[in-house]
Chain A
C-alpha cells in the first residue's frame, strides 16, 4: 500500500525535529528557562521529553524516584537495548551493583561489598513482590530466575539498607524487579537469538478479556554452553532450561487484582537428572480506598528443588503481606506486616556437611510503620520502625531515620541512619560436619548500622546526577571458631568492622539522538576479630570485593530505525586468591526493519577472549567473549 510514501513523510518529520533540536543546543541554558523557572518544554525534542524526570502527583505512581536513598532504575527500554540475555547480565547496567559471572550457571551479585558466591547474603531481591533470597544460606540462587526480559517493566536497585518498607534481608541492598501489567502487553512478541555461547527463544501473547482485564502468557527457553576453566575445577557448567508463565491483571472500580504464576525446569549437563525445577503462584490486590489512601495485599507460594551431582535441596515458601498507605496533611504514613514460612530440605551425599535436622520449617514475621512528614515545603523527615522476628532470632528492632531537603524540585539532598540485620540462615545455625564442625545453636543475627548521605538532581535539562556516600558499621559477622584443640569448629559471630564508599552516576543527553551515562563505585573495608577469638576460615564471610568499578555507556538513535549501544566497564582485581583487574566492552546494533520486525547483533566481553571475574576456587570459570544475533517479531 502507501507504506513507502508514509515513511518518506516520517523522514521529513524527523529532519524537522532534528533541526528544531539543533536550535535548543545553540541557546544559552538561561534562555531556556521560562518565568517560573520551569524549563521551556516546547524547546525539547519528543525524545528529550520522554527522558525528563517529573514531579508526580500520585504517590503510588512515584515509586522511589523521590525516595531519599541511593537508587538506580534500569528501564525496560534499557533492557531491550542491552546485549544481555539474562536478568543477571542486565544487572550489570546498575553502577551500584557488583556482578561477577562465576560460571555459565552461577553469578555472585552484591551491593556495598561482601561479594562472592557463598558470601553475598545481605541482599533482598524481589521479582513482582516475591522474595528470592533463600533461607538456606540467605543468598540468591540466580540460576533459578529466568524471566522473559521483554516482560520486565523496570528494575529498581537500591544500594544501602532500603529503609523500613522492604522485607527481611534488606541489609546492603534491594533489587526490585517488576514486570508489565498484562493490560500493557496486548498482542504477540517472539524473540530468538543465536549466539556463540547461548541460544535463546522467548515468546508472549497478551489477550484482552472484556473491557478491564488482560491475560499474558509467556515462555522462555535458553541453552548455554559451559565456560573455559578458571580457578575452579573443571566443571561441566553448561546449562539449559525453560520457563512458562502467565499474568492476569484485572481492574474494577478502584481495584486492581493480579494473578500470576510460573513453572520452570533447568538442566545441568553433569549427571542425568541434575538440574532445578520449581514454580510459583502469586495473588495480589491493590485498592485505592479514596484519593488519600490505598491498600495492597499479596500472597504467594513458591517452591523449587535443586539437584547437582550428589547434593539436593528444596525450599517451599508461603508468604502473606499487607501494606496500607495514607496521606494526611503533611504526613505520608505507611504501615504493614508480613508473615512468611518456609520448609526446606538439604541432602548431601558428597561429603560430611549436612544440616541437622535435614528438613525444617522456619517462620519470619515482620511489621513496620513509617511516617514521612514535611517540616517545611522543602524539608521532609522520614521516621520508620520495622520489627523483625525469625525462628532463629528474637525480636529485632530496625529503626530508620531519613532527612530529605529539596531546595527546589530539581535537586534532592538526603541523609539517613538505619539499622539492619541479617537473621541467621539454616546454614548458620544447623550446619554440621562430624567431627570437624558442630552446630552453632547460639549463632546471632549479623548487624549493621548504616550512615548514608547523597545528592540527586538535574543540574541542567539534559543532565542528571546522583552521588552517595556511606559508612557502614558491622558487628557479629560470621566466623568459624576453633572451640577445642585440634577440633571441632563452630560458626560464631566474631568479626566486627566497617566499610565505606562512594557511588556516583550521571546521564547526559548530549544530543537528541545521543545519550551518555557513566557510573563509578569505590569501596573500602576494615574488619577485625574480637579479642580472644579465632576464625579458621580467614574472614571468608567478608567476601572479596573490587575496590573500584567504573561503567561508561553510550546510546545512539541513528535515524528513525537504527540504535547503537556500547558499554565499557573497568573492575578492580581481587586478592585472595588474586585475579587481575579487567576492562571489558559490549555493544549492540539494532535495526527496526518495520513496526513488526527488529533485527540485532550484540557482543559481550569484546576485548578479551576470556577473563576472570570470580576467584571462587570451587566454581570459578572464565567469562568469555560472545556474540549473538537475534530478532524480535511483534504482531
Chain B
C-alpha cells in the first residue's frame, strides 16, 4: 500500500519555504495608518533586512499575491538605512545584537517587523516558531498597535500566541 502512497508523493516543504509563503500573506491581514498605505496601484513593499534566508522562494511567494489590486514587491536591504518605504520587514542580523540594532532603527515607522528571534529587543511584532513540526507565529499586538498597525482577528486567531494591545 505504501508504494501506492509513495506514487502520490509530494515533497515536504522546508521551514524557510513556508515562512516565505507566510510573509507576503501577512500584508492581507494588516491595516496600516492612512499615511503609510501605498497609493492606489502602487505595491506593498516587503523588505528583507540583513541576512536573507529565503532567496527566490520569497520572490515567487510574493509574485502570487495581489491585495486590493496592489502587488507585493520584495526588496533586500543590508541596513535599516535603506529601509524607507517598507511596509513589512523580515529582520535578521548576523547576531542577536545586530538584529536588535536593525529593529531599533525601524522603531519609529509603521513597519510590520517579523523575526525568527522570540524574545528581547531582537523580537519583531511577529515572530516565527515551530510547533508540532509546523511553522506557526506569535503576534505582539501591543507593539504593532504602538506603531499604528491594526492586525485582523483572523490572523490573531491563527497565531500560536498573542501579546494583547493595552
Contact = CB atoms under 8 A, between A and B. Distances in A.
Tell me if chain B binds chain A: yes
Contacts of A458: 10, 12
Interface in A210-248: 210-214
B136 to A, nearest CB: 6
Contacts of A411: 2, 5-6, 9
A183 B119 contact: yes
Interface string B1-17: 01001101111111111
Given A13-B29, A251-B120, A73 B133 contact: yes
Q: How many of chain B's residues touch chain A, expressed as a range?
A: 35 or more
Interface string A1-37: 0000011011001101100000000000100110011
B41 interface: no
A340 interface: no
A9 B31 contact: yes
A75 B131 contact: yes
Contacts of A49: 18, 21-22, 25, 135
A71 B26 CA distance: 32
A54 B2 contact: no
Contacts, number: 187
Interface in A141-159: 153-154
A53 interface: yes
A457 B9 CA distance: 9
A184 B118 contact: yes
B132 A154 contact: yes
Given A13-B154, A50-B136, A634-B162, A183 B21 contact: no
Interface stretch (B42-50, B60-68, B85-93): B60-68
Interface string B56-89: 0000110111000000000000000000000000
A54 B119 contact: no
Contact of A460 (B8, B65, B135, B157): B8
A594 B150 CA distance: 13
B18 A38 contact: no
Given A51-B134, A62-B133, A410-B9, A17 B65 contact: no
A561 interface: yes
A595 B164 contact: yes
Nearest to B140: A186
Contact of A39 (B10, B20, B129, B142): B10
B105 interface: no
A595 to B, nearest CB: 6
A251 B117 CA distance: 11
Contacts of B141: 595
Nearest to A461: B10
Nearest to A256: B119
Contacts of B158: 46-47, 50
A412 B5 CA distance: 11
A459 interface: yes
A187 interface: yes
A592 B136 CA distance: 20
B154 A14 contact: yes
B35 interface: no
Interface in B113-166: 118-121, 129-136, 138, 140-142, 150, 152-158, 160-166
A290 interface: no
A73 B136 CA distance: 15
B135 A50 contact: yes
Contact of A55 (B12, B22, B25, B165): B12
Contacts of B2: 411, 413, 455
A291 to B, nearest CB: 13
A56 interface: yes
A52 B154 contact: no
B13 A41 contact: yes
A52 B18 contact: yes
Contacts of A13: 28-29, 152, 154
Contact of B132 (A7, A73, A409): A73
B18 A41 contact: yes
A54 B164 contact: no
Interface in A397-441: 407-411, 413
Contacts of A9: 31, 152
Contact of A595 (B29, B60, B156, B160): B156
B161 A180 contact: yes
Contacts of A154: 131-132
A249 B150 CA distance: 29
Contacts of B160: 76-77, 184
A407 B6 contact: yes
Nearest to A406: B12
Given A56-B133, A187-B164, 8 more contacts: A42-B65, A44-B21, A54-B15, A55-B15, A75-B131, A184-B118, A211-B120, A596-B164
6 A-B pairs with the lowest CB-CB distances in the bound complex, closest first: A65-B133, A42-B64, A41-B21, A409-B12, A211-B120, A212-B120
